[in-house]
């Protein structure tokens, strides 16, 4: 019986799925939160930006929201490479210290917002900061929104939780996130303005209703903080006006209406900041006038006492020259007469100067 040659054994293999890419650890260190949203609902398990954006683009539905806190150049470069962010905007996001603005690029928007936080302090101290500043920068694309936060305040956890509780609003897209953040920051402006108003009222009462002199440095400190608020509030009007009025593919019409409401709130804040600035300027002038008045009163008192002291000085100087032929020099009552004359003239001068209000 012929033996058939043995054939090489063949084991079928299952093709391997390509390994999912992940963001390098160097960039993940700056990530505060990352999530993918489809139909306004957070997709569980999408915590890596690479996997999240790939899933969203495969489905052609939803968007990714990634939050960063003070990323460095290398960390921001990885995120920029993943989402295709413009290099000029990426540079601004790393270095911060930008004024509020809105930049338009080919496939994205870049919005800079200044954040403020009121610092509790004791009235009358001049070594404390009254308003703390920070920044939030947003990159808005068709299927992503990247937020970059600088500063220890104005966390966006509450904004994210509020949006996730309202899937209908979140389903509008990344522009809904941009609006929610802008609305939150403007609301913080209102809160800080109300707290600063109490400080301005206390300063006004100290200048006009108390007899204790007010340190002008305190007024300048408060005025400096008001100017900081103005630098955060006033430049933001133009970006909000553009978002609410100018049509853009990334900002739906329904979101533009919401931005219009935020712009109205910002205008109210801007007016109050201008009012506080003018009031503090008035307080500075009033405090300076009060200081000048006190100095004039002090100079009048000094001049009055100098006039009184001139009488005994003159008489003592004349009789201290020790000439032989001086009036009443050898008279027994010469000394008492000189002392009496000095006292009488000084009392008379004191009464006259006091009646005139110099003493």
For 319, the enclosing helix (H) or strand (E) is helix 253-319
Residues 6+ apart with CB under 8 A from 184: 154, 156, 158, 159
What CATH number was assigned to the domain covering residues 294-355? 1.20.58.340
pTM: 0.75
- Dump pLDDT digits (tens) for 5-47: 443 443 333 333 344 455 554 456 788 899 999 999 999 888 8
Taking only the tens place, the pLDDT of each residue in 188-246 is 999 999 888 888 888 888 777 766 667 778 888 888 888 888 888 999 999 999 999 88
- What dotted CATH number matches 25-291? 3.30.460.20
Q: Which H or E run includes 140?
A: strand 131-140
30 CB-near residues (< 8 Å, 6+ apart): 68, 69, 70, 71, 72, 75, 76
Considering just the CA atoms, what is the radius of gyration of the chain in Å? Answer: 38
> Where along the chain do its domains lie?
25-291, 294-355
Measure Cα distances from 316 to 21, 333, 335 in Å. 102, 16, 11
Question: What are the b/e assignments for 128-156, b being 16+ CB within 10 Å?
Answer: eebbbbbbbbbbbbebbbbbbbbbeebeb
- pLDDT above 90 covers a percentage of the chain that reads 36
Distance CA(33)–CA(65), nearest Å, equals 8
| Residues, the chain | 359
State the pairing for strand pair 144-150/63-69.
Answer: parallel
């Amino acid at each position: 019986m012929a033996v058939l040659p043995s054939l090489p054994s063949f084991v079928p293999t299952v093709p391997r799925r390509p390994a999912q890419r992940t963001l390098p650890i160097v960039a993940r260190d700056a990530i505060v939160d990352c999530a993918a949203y489809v139909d306004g609902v957070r997709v569980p398990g999408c915590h890596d930006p690479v996997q999240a954006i790939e899933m969203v683009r495969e489905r052609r539905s939803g968007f990714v929201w990634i939050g960063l806190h003070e990323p460095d150049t290398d960390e921001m470069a990885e995120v920029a490479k993943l989402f295709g962010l413009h290099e000029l905007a990426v540079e601004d996001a790393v270095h911060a210290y930008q004024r509020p603005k809105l930049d338009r690029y080919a496939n994205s928007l870049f919005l800079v917002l200044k954040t403020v936080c009121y610092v509790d302090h004791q009235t009358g101290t001049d070594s404390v900061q009254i308003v703390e500043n920070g920044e939030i920068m947003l990159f808005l694309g068709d299927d992503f929104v990247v937020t970059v936060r600088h500063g220890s305040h104005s966390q966006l956890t509450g904004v994210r939780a509020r949006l996730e509780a309202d899937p209908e609003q979140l389903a509008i897209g990344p522009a809904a996130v941009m609006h929610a953040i802008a609305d939150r920051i403007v609301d913080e402006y209102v809160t800080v303005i109300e707290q600063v108003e109490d400080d301005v009222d206390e300063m006004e009462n100290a200048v006009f209703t108390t007899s204790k002199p007010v340190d002008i440095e305190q007024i300048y400190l408060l005025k400096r903080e008001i100017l900081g608020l103005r630098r955060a509030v006033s430049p933001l009007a133009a970006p909000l006006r553009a978002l609410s009025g100018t049509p853009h593919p990334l900002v739906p019409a329904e979101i533009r209406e919401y931005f219009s409401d935020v712009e109205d709130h910002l205008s109210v804040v801007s007016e109050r900041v201008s009012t506080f600035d003018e009031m503090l300027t008035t307080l500075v002038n009033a405090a300076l006038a009060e200081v000048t008045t006190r100095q004039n009163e002090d100079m009048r008192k000094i001049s009055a006492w100098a006039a009184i002291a001139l009488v005994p000085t003159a008489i003592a100087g004349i009789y201290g020259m020790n000439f032989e032929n001086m009036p009443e020099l050898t008279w027994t009552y010469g000394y008492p007469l000189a002392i009496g004359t000095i006292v009488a003239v000084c009392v008379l001068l004191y009464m006259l100067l006091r009646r005139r209000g110099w003493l």
